[in-house]
Structure 1
Amino acid sequence: MNESPNRVRPRLSDIRNSRTVKKKGGFFLTGAQTVICIICLITAFALKTYGGEYYQSARAFAKDAYNNSIKKEDITEALKSISGDFPSAEEVFKNQASSTANSSKSTSSKTESSSDMNSSSNATTSSDVGDDNSADAAAAIKTGLKPQTLSYQGEGDQPLEITKVLSGSPPVEKTISMTPYKLSVKPVEPVKGNISSKFGNRINPITNAQSFHTGIDIAAPSGTPIEAAYDGVVEKTGVSEVYGNYVLMDNGGGIETFYGHCGTINVKSNDKISAGTTIASVGSTGMSTGYHLHFEVRINGVYVDPQYCLSE
């Protein structure tokens, strides 16, 4: 019988190559299976030799799992027998939820505590100047320095008698008091020298007009160091047409001190300054007739005579 002309007979070389590939594939597969079996046997032997009770527990659990359907409770019990007191899934999630709730409560408590502290701070800052405790806290909060308990006490515990006056050139209305007073901390004398102009009414030496002098002038040589009278924070520095180079300090307890006609300024706004620190030097800037320091003390915005605190 003749073969169909369309049928192609495989070549002998192709048949031999195909058999070779199959043999190689079978060899590699068999080899890989053999290696895996050897590793499993070695692992089982090592676990049996050194695993002790863990091997027996694992073996029993595997046998049980093979013969019966595995339940969540069985897995939990088996894990407990191997590793001790192992928590269930429900316990894990329950503990996590409890921990989250406690963390939220703790955060809420801290926030409330912080809010209470801020409220207390605000109440203290806005309280009466005559309250020593509030002044003490206010000074600590504002300056960040050790509390100096700077507070005001009028003569005979009487409040300041205040009045409005015109001061400066051009004249500006300011609130002043001539009432004697005491401050609870003795100041550092900012500059040693003679008082060339006192607190009160005077003839302005520049304009020759009647005016109220809201501080005292202390004469001193040019460049003499000016020291901070009290602990405090530098509220502002700048240049004024009247007072030239100046420094304004917040000393806590509603007390402010002002240093004018300075030559050079050694500090900047928000600096925390201890009493006795050099903050500037004596100059004759602004409307001045000579080298001196113009020094002011203010209590809750009321200008008072600095000599009452300097003479304590």
Structure 2
Amino acid sequence: MADVGTLDRLSRNKKVLFAASAAIGGFISALLTQGLGLGEGAFTSWVLAGGLDAACIGAAVVYAQSYYQTRSLKVRDGLKKAAKTGLVAGCAGGLAALFGMNLFGAGNVGRMVGWAISGGVAGYVVAQQVPNLRRKPAIVAGACGGAVGCLVMYMEFGYATGVAITGAAIGLMVAMAESMFRKNWIDVEVYAHVLGNGLNLAKPERQFTLNIGADPITIGTHAGLDIEFKADPGSAPGHTASIYCDGDKTIYHDLQNGSRAELSAGQPFRFGACQVRLGS
């Protein structure tokens, strides 16, 4: 049986975290589909079940991203939006796939296309919530994961297990796409106490990596920011900052005093209880 340290290390690995979470999302979707009897008719199995698949898998990966950043099981605001977007877009994609099936009689190929659509929608949902995750690679990766998972479902697995495996494939492919197509990023360390200017020998409470781009990465003490840390008693309440890319430059913007500074690769800087290093 895996020890606590091993489980902690695995939970810091985004590929493992996304795959495991998406598998759980797929399993929940399968249970709902079976419990509601959605697999009994062509329309319900393609449209409604397809919407459930995209909603549950997409929301599960968004939840995994939140846990990756905060190490907290608290549900963040973006989860409901992710589930709604996945449900609507998944149903629309399933309807398009069903129309194509009826028009061209695609058979098993159509089933694979249907899962590719669900996977692509899940990738789109994740790209809406994960900071600076490029949308096209996420959609393509999700579609590939859905198609590969569909092939696995033809093996001797039960329906729920097959959908869980498909979800895992979607989550893994999206995580791989994020790292493969990453251009700029920051490595973040968050500590239990506010950092001073001297030598820091403390062990971080959590460590993670975020993509940076045109959409600012927000830092501060408010809940819901991309990088949250405990309030700094030495600064004004609500002190926040952001990091973003402007052309070839990475800019740190202090939102309290309006100052801006260019960040250099490999050079760490401290803000409250976190330390950030621009990747190179």
User: Which gives a bigger RCO, structure 1 or 2 (Cα 8 Å, sep 6+)?
Assistant: 2
Tell me which interval the TM-score lies in, with the shorter structure as reference length: under 0.3
Normalising by the residue count of structure 2, what TM-score does the alignment of the two structures yield? 0.21
- Which structure carries more strand by proportion? 1
Q: Please say which structure displays the higher CA radius of gyration.
A: 1
